[in-house]
Amino acid sequence: MADCIFCKIANKEIPAQILYEDDKTMVFKDLEPKAPIHYLIIPKQHFDNVTNVPAGNDIISHIFTVAIKMAVKEGVSDEGFRIVNNTGALGGQSVNHLHFHFLAGRQMKWPPG
């Protein structure tokens, strides 16, 4: 999608610190990390947010499979981590290309702000 920053990262039109990619997803470091490990997991295909993923599309489960892969790769699968998805204005979404935050390396708080 034109003028979508994450589409541009997925197409390698603008740089990012890419940690993993496959045919459907990409993982890169968040520009403003909120934890020692803060990655963004995105589908390469543009969806504005989770509400736009058609029923039957397996991208969300694939993203979680990738997240677990990252947890194992970073050695945090036992100590724990957090996966976050912000959806829409009240959900705090600032980039309108579906993404999941993968956060690890510190004690997470609850409830979130």
Q: Which residues bind ligand 5GP (CB under 6 A)?
A: 5, 16, 28-32, 40, 86, 92-95
Contact positions with Zn ion (CB under 5 A) in 28-87:
46
Grouping H, G, I as helix, E, B as strand and the rest as coil, residue 19 is strand
Distance of CA 75 to CAs 14, 22, 23, 68, 69, Å? 29, 21, 24, 10, 10
Contact positions with Zn ion (CB under 5 A) in 87-106:
97
Interface size with Zn ion, residues (CB under 5 A): 6
Catalytic residue flag (residue 97) = no
88 binding partner (options ligand 5GP, Zn ion, none; Cβ < 5 to 8 Å by kind): none
